[in-house]
Structure 1
Amino acid sequence: MIIKRRQFLRSTGAAAALSLAAPLVARAAADTIKVGGLHDLSGALDLVGIPMDQVFQMAIKEINEGGGLLGRQVEGVVYDPQSNMSMYSQYATQMALKDKVAVVMGGITSASRETIRPIFHKFQTLYFYNTQYEGGVCDRNEITLGTTPAQTVARIIPYAMNLYGKKVYTVAADYNYGHITSAWIKRYVEEQGGEVIATEFFPLDVAQFGSTISKIQAAKPDFVCSAMVGSSHLGFYRQWAAAGMKEQIPMISTVLGAGGNDQIVLTAAEGNGILSSFGYFEAVDNPANKAFLERIKAEYPTNTPIMSEISECTYEGMMIWADAVREAGSIERDAVLEVIAKGKTYDLPAGKVKIDPKTQHAIRDVYIAELQDQTFVIKESFPESQPADTQMVCDLIADPRANKHYEISL
């Protein structure tokens, strides 16, 4: 039975005595296969982390209902790092050394990934990072299922420039994702003969954007490209609409909808017309996705999560890992990696997915969608998009001992 941190504290009254590294699960039976879920169930990113956890647990249930793995049931070991990097570090160490999980699905921001990735690499605990990010991780111990700029930004920029024009104003989160993604935006705009006339960065806790909106109004770009992140930055879209700018200058985003609930938090009046690009939207039209959404609704009938790339990729991670365990006949890391690195194609809710052996990133179908009445409507799809940015710096076939996050030189 999985015991969430807040439930544990309420039931025991032990909040003052609980150390950061205390387990949040009942002791798993010795004959189960433990799998780790490390997602923000509270804190600044809980609206993203909770659906990831819901899908993680549903995947475990499906695997067990299908007979488990290697004659054993799968047991979830869940911790809530609360968007706190210190807790991410301590819980990752706990999972690797004490819980001895076979695999971990976890991390949301690049900061959380780079906190836990070296820990899992050191202790050879297989790690799946399922979040869209800036690209550049080269680590044989990590399987990366989320999209990179070469798969999404490279698609949406030409699409938007063809619709709106060549002058672009970029606003972005002030950390590595925002900075690196903004550099990719500039590169792709210039490749299409356009110009980024300005780029502004904002810390994640900034929620007031009046002066920037005035600057954009004066600059008169053909469209705005947003790489804003988190709940505070949603204020930008609200204030943009309130200022009457939505009818004057179009907006695209590399992030909006990544966590799944942004389109519901924004009203239709605030969000309609914004373009985004990801490796998954609920509107993907294939039998696997229809069945997946039906199972989500049946599993969580009163608190059905909206599925996004991040949550759907968490499901993918569990299914790909389980398939590799079955084929390898083992939960040992190297045996599982050997199977995954064969580049098998999986038919998943997002479409066709396979792992590039060179980077261990996903080659996947990618979509451009427009937000209409709080729902993303797919406008165009791009089959088998390669993680070409990370392929520029990473070759795990040539160097299987690689363990680095490259900031790709542009």
Structure 2
Amino acid sequence: MTITRRKVLKSLAGAAAVAAAAPLSSFAKGSDDIVIGSLHDLSGGLDILGKPMQDAMQLAVQEINDAGGLLGKKVSIVTMDPQSNMQLYAQYAQQMALKDKVTALFGGITSASREVIRPVMKRFNALYFYNTQYEGGVCDRNTFCTGQTPAQNVDKLVPYVTKRWGKKIYILAADYNYGHITTDWIKKYAGQVDATVIGADFFPLDVNQFGPTIQKIQAAKPDMVISVLVGGAHMAFYRQWAAAGMNKKIPMASTTFNNGNEHIVLSKDESDGIVTAFSYFESINSPINKGFVDRWHKKYGADYPYIGELAAATYQGVHLWAMGVKKAGSLDRMKMIQALETGISFDGPSGKVTIDPVTHHCVLDIQIAECKDKKWKILESYKQQKPVDTAAVCNLSKTPNENKQFVIKI
């Protein structure tokens, strides 16, 4: 799997491995530049997710600079590779805030990494953008979340697949807060359509052997499997599932499949038929998305494997930040926050994306799609879905000094 993954990902621009403390950037930093930080895994087990996010930042900043920059200045990126290591996330976030003086930091993939970065950015007064789908509940005026929460995508996925395949669900999930809390959301939405979760197993991010679990699923005889697996090691499950012939017997949905270009790395047989729900798929048929895809391939090459959800969310996050700077007319942190809280919208590749002032999350379009021949066929679309799960626990208009991640009662 490692060799195949490397062959696929070697065409991803900005994907070079880095020395532990060395900043990288395609945008040389001038003394008068507006500096933003990129803290994404470019090596380690989550590099299949982090590299496209870094590429998305570079494209967005290039577009901003080509359009004249911000406030009469160019934007430059300081990039560091935390190597999927929480200690390095903390070290580099502090370095970016104190030494590099970043105006805003874009980074983090897992919720654990977010919760390392977030307090550092708040303490040192630098804006933080988290551009990954997650379990919801972050309530922090200094943080903006551009990815989906369960009320936006899981809420649509579970009713669709249970109507199509049946009422008995078996879940496989990553063994950290995203996996556990998303599993609880699946159970909630399953209950609303009279479906049942008959089994749930959790796996650390470095696990790559799933034989006993596949035997358990065979014995349980569910109507479907829902995968909440994350990262390169967990990709082995899909191979072992297909090798056991289970992909011909039990259908599969996922809240995560596609984030790491799994459908490109795996064979057609291993990925065909998997159904998922995201805000962005490269196959969205709109002029804005077609232009985005064309610009991406012009920059990174026609052989770039696939532009996925995390790349689009990061690209849109950078542009939303830039719109906030323009509206504020200033790099003052509070002025930028207040500008972003006016309900700024960006017409991006995923559709219209609007910052919700109350939660600092985004209102997004959601698509349900099925993998076929290494491409995604969009089956259903849901316009302008609100982050109602986080809105149930977070109101920054009333409590602007809130600073925590709530565990939403499910």
Instruction: Identify the TM-score tier after normalising by the shorter chain.
Output: over 0.9
Q: Provide closer, same or farther for how the CA distance between residues 165 and 373 of structure 1 changes in structure 2, counting only shifts above 3 A.
A: same
Shift of 1:110: 0.8
Give secondary structure in 2 for the equivalent of 1:188: helix
Distance (Å, rounded) in 2 between the aligned partners of 1:64 and 1:143: 22
* Structure-to-structure mapping, 1:9-408, within 5 angstroms: 21=21, 23-24=23-24, 28-259=29-260, 261-301=261-301, 304=304, 306-408=306-408
Shift of 1:78: 0.8
Structure 1 gaps of 5+ residues are 10-19
- For the 8 Å contact 1:328–1:339, the answer to whether it is kept is yes
Shift of 1:28: 2.8
Match in the other structure for 1:16: none
Give secondary structure in 2 for the equivalent of 1:76: strand
Deviation per residue, 1:32-70 (Å, 9 max, x gap): 111111111111111211111111111111111111111
- For the 8 Å contact 1:36–1:101, the answer to whether it is kept is yes
Give secondary structure in 1 for the equivalent of 2:248: coil
Give the residue type in structure 2 aligned to 1:176.
N
- For the 8 Å contact 2:22–2:80, the answer to whether it is kept is no
Match in the other structure for 2:409: 409
Distance (Å, rounded) in 1 between the aligned partners of 2:57 and 2:67: 16
- For the 8 Å contact 1:96–1:123, the answer to whether it is kept is yes
Distance (Å, rounded) in 1 between the aligned partners of 2:128 and 2:275: 31
What TM-score comes out, normalization by structure 2 length?
Answer: 0.93
Shift of 1:23: 4.3
- For the 8 Å contact 1:4–1:80, the answer to whether it is kept is no
- For the 8 Å contact 2:135–2:178, the answer to whether it is kept is yes
Give secondary structure in 2 for the equivalent of 1:56: helix
Shift of 1:3: 9.9
Structure 2 gaps of 5+ residues are 1-12
- For the 8 Å contact 2:14–2:55, the answer to whether it is kept is no
Give the residue type in structure 2 aligned to 1:97.
L
Distance (Å, rounded) in 2 between the aligned partners of 1:84 and 1:243: 33
Give the residue type in structure 2 aligned to 1:358.
V
- For the 8 Å contact 2:45–2:206, the answer to whether it is kept is no
Distance (Å, rounded) in 2 between the aligned partners of 1:265 and 1:21: 30
Give secondary structure in 1 for the equivalent of 2:109: coil
- For the 8 Å contact 1:5–1:24, the answer to whether it is kept is no
- For the 8 Å contact 2:45–2:233, the answer to whether it is kept is no
Give secondary structure in 1 for the equivalent of 2:136: coil
Match in the other structure for 1:17: none
- For the 8 Å contact 1:21–1:94, the answer to whether it is kept is no
Shift of 1:345: 2.7
Shift of 1:27: 7.6
Deviation per residue, 1:98-139 (Å, 9 max, x gap): 111111111111111111111001112001100011111111
Shift of 1:194: 1.1
Distance (Å, rounded) in 2 between the aligned partners of 1:335 and 1:304: 38
Match in the other structure for 1:12: none
Deviation per residue, 1:263-304 (Å, 9 max, x gap): 111111011000011111101111110000000000011662
**Structure 1 vs Structure 2 CA RMSD:** 1.7
What TM-score comes out, normalization by structure 1 length?
Answer: 0.93
- For the 8 Å contact 2:21–2:80, the answer to whether it is kept is no
Give the residue type in structure 1 aligned to 2:196.
E
Deviation per residue, 1:309-351 (Å, 9 max, x gap): 1111111011111111112111222111111111133211100
Deviation per residue, 1:387-410 (Å, 9 max, x gap): 111111111111111110112122
Shift of 1:148: 0.7
Shift of 1:24: 4.4
